[in-house]
Structure 1
Amino acid sequence: MAEDIDVTIREALPEDASQIVEVSKTIGDQTEFLVADEYGENMPIHLLENQLETIHDSDNQLLLVAVVEEQIVGSASVRTSEEKRVSHIGEVGISLLKDYWGIGLGSVLLEELMDWSQQTGKIRRLELTVQKQNERAIHLYEKFGFQTEAVMTRGASGDDGRFLDVLLMSKMID
């Protein structure tokens, strides 16, 4: 379990940008489950630093990092839209280095995201997408009350070019 290792969960800071990019690259090499996002390997570090500062200063967006021995080993985020009609929806994302799968760290991160989201008083719905083949992640989300709303056929493509189904899952938090 996550309690057996010394993990610090904290908000990401601009100075974490380089490590976040490196960890994202490594996770991308370890699994095809990761969906590339704006913390991806192609973003210039100075732009990521600016983005991390904006997220850190935001009251309706959050990026957490999991740190072991001063090294980032994963991240978890909630993002919202600036569009008023959908600003109550938080999009959840979690990624961990493969060495940290199956020890409860995903549960710890998801619980932190959910607690924070409830405390904002603004976010009313959490949603995420997950590849149908990622059974471990689906189990985690279901354990925390997320329900499948839709199956997006050919919602992603695998490393070998095959199409993969993706689930849209959500949880109401108010």
Structure 2
Amino acid sequence: MPGMKNNRLAYMIRTGVLEDAEAVLDVQNSVISEGEYFIAVSEEFNKTPEQQRDWIRRLLENERETIIVAEMNEEVVGWIAFQAENRKRMFHKGSFGVMIRKNFRGMGIGKELIEELLDWAEANPLIEKVSLGVFSTNHRAISLYKRLGFVEEGRKIKEFKMGESEYIDDIIMYKMV
């Protein structure tokens, strides 16, 4: 599905493939290195391209999971992955994570990735609830999620310790599809 912002920058949204593993990993490393909105810090994250391919393979082989990428000029600039719960009583739901390279934010790519994921989830008879967790300081993302129909389900107070005496809440949001 092609996307466009201001009729200038065209990008494509598509289902990820195994060959995207290194590019997806590169985007993830880039976002983690910013140190702002991701749980892991760079020194904790050491996934190899082979491990990334295995992760993507598992997502694509599970009918309740997916990975969707945003590509611009044949470069993966963002992605969203939906991972389902495996317990029988939580089989109807899953959660997603989304990552966009810093230079490509604000173009509508994240919004389109989430909309594409929601379309996929609505078409999947096994998925009823889409969830996510977001740092309480990520106001831009929270605003986007609310515009797309997500509501706050709960909050984990001081879930993340960012520094000596700096904590951030984890806001849990969901949308029924």
Q: What is aligned with 1:14?
A: 18
Counterpart among 69, 73, 89 of residue 65 in structure 1: 69
Q: Which runs of 4+ in 1 moved over 2 A?
A: 1-4, 34-37
How many pairs are equivalent? 170
Classify the secondary structure of the residue corresponding to 1:6: strand
1:70 to partner: Cα distance: 1.5
Alignment partner, residue 50 of structure 1: 54
1:75 maps onto 2:79 in alignment: yes
Change (3 A) 1:120 1:36: farther
Residues 21 and 41, structure 1, Cα contact 8 Å, conserved in 2? no
Pair 1:90 & 2:102 matched: no
- Alpha-carbon distance in 1 for matches of 2:27, 2:108: 19
Deviations 1:69-125 (Å, cap 9, x if unpaired)? 121111112110222110111202111111121221111111001000011111111
1:44 deviates by 2.4
With normalisation by structure 2, the TM-score equals 0.88
| Structure 1: gaps spanning 5 or more residues | none
- RMSD over equivalenced CA pairs, Å: 1.9
* Aligned equivalents of 2:15, 2:78: Cα separation in 1: 12
* Bigger proportion of residues as strand: 2
Matches of 1:122 and 1:116 in 2, distance apart?
A: 11
List alignment gaps of at least 5 residues for structure 2.
none
Correspondent of 2:157 among 138, 153, 160: 153
Distance 1:135 1:47 in 2: 32
Identity across matched positions, percent: 26
TM-score, normalised by the number of residues in structure 1? 0.89
